[in-house]
Amino acid sequence: MKRTTTLISIFSGKSAFIKYCFLTGCFIFTLSGKAQQTTLTAIGNISGVPAEMKQSELKAVLMGETQRWKNGKRVVIALMKTNTPLGKTTSTKIYDMSGDELNKYWLSLVFQGKSQAPVFFTSVSELQNFVSQNPGAIGIIDKPVAISDVRSVIIDGKASF
């Protein structure tokens, strides 16, 4: 009873409109977040990148643990920048890191010479073009677009994840 009274008092009065807008905005944000919990697709250059991979293999590649493909081509990772929604999703879903944490992670690897850092892009088309032009390149996008020399990589039997 007391709680209800408190609630009613909060959402009444002169600032009620502002409070209602704030709540609505939060709801929409939550919905958009949920809406942006999109699927990711791995694309790779047809030269070097396998057509199918396991999730664990993908993670190992994307974490920089795998330096070369089986055919000997060097692994080149292409990602969206973490200040983009796709980049953010990629960082969270695949690396389980924030954008800054991801930067730090790759900085430490590059610093120690353990791995080549990914190439970050601001648009999917640039990313896809990069993958098509660089043998051994693998990228993470949301929706694959048909480009020559680029194919979607099946991860654990699925085209998207």
Partner 1 sequence: MLINLKTKIWLTICSIVLIYSFFTLYYFPKQQGTLLVNNYENEVQNLANTVALGVKIAINEQNFEGVQTAMEFVKGDPRLQFISMVQSDTIWNAGHDKFEIRQTVFKTFPEKEHLSPSVSSNDSLIVKKAPFATGMMSGAILLGFNTKGIEASKAKIKNTSIIVSGIVLLFGILLGFWLARNISIPVLALRDAARKVGEGDLNQKIKRIHRDEIGQLEKAFNKMIDDLDKTTSDLNEKNLVLSATNDTLNDTLVQLKTTHTQLIQSEKMASLGELTAGIAHEIQNPLNFVNNFSEVSMELITEILEEKAKSATERDEALEAELLEDISNNLEKIAHHGKRADGIVKGMLQHSRSSSGVKEPFDINALADEYLRLAYHGLRAKDKSFNADLKTNFDLAIPKIMMIPQDVGRVLLNLFTNAFYATRQKQLAIGDYKPVLEVSTRQIPNAVEIVVKDNGTGIPDAIKDKILQPFFTTKPTGEGTGLGLSLSYDIVVKEHGGTIAIDSKEGEFSIFTITLPKQQESIG
What is the binding site for partner 1 (CB under 8 A)? Answer: 81-83, 100, 103-104, 106-108, 110-113, 116-120
Q: In angstroms, what is the minimal distance from the CB of 158 to partner 1?
A: 28
Q: In angstroms, what is the minimal distance from the CB of 39 to partner 1?
A: 23
The Cα–Cα gap between 88 and 63 comes to 16
5 vs 112, beta carbon nearer partner 1 = 112
Q: In angstroms, what is the minimal distance from the CB of 107 to partner 1?
A: 6
CB 134 within 8 A of CB 76: yes
Q: In angstroms, what is the minimal distance from the CB of 110 to partner 1?
A: 5
The Cα–Cα gap between 144 and 112 comes to 33
3-state helix, strand, coil in the chain (%, to 5): 45, 20, 35
87 vs 151, beta carbon nearer partner 1 = 87
Exposed, middle or buried by CB within 10 Å (0-12, 13-18, 19+), for 77?
Answer: buried
Q: In angstroms, what is the minimal distance from the CB of 154 to partner 1?
A: 28
Select from 32, 126, 97 the least CA-distant residue to 141.
Answer: 126
24 vs 122, beta carbon nearer partner 1 = 122
40 vs 117, beta carbon nearer partner 1 = 117
139 vs 151, beta carbon nearer partner 1 = 139
CA distances from 94 to 40, 55, 64, 97, 144 (A): 9, 10, 12, 8, 17
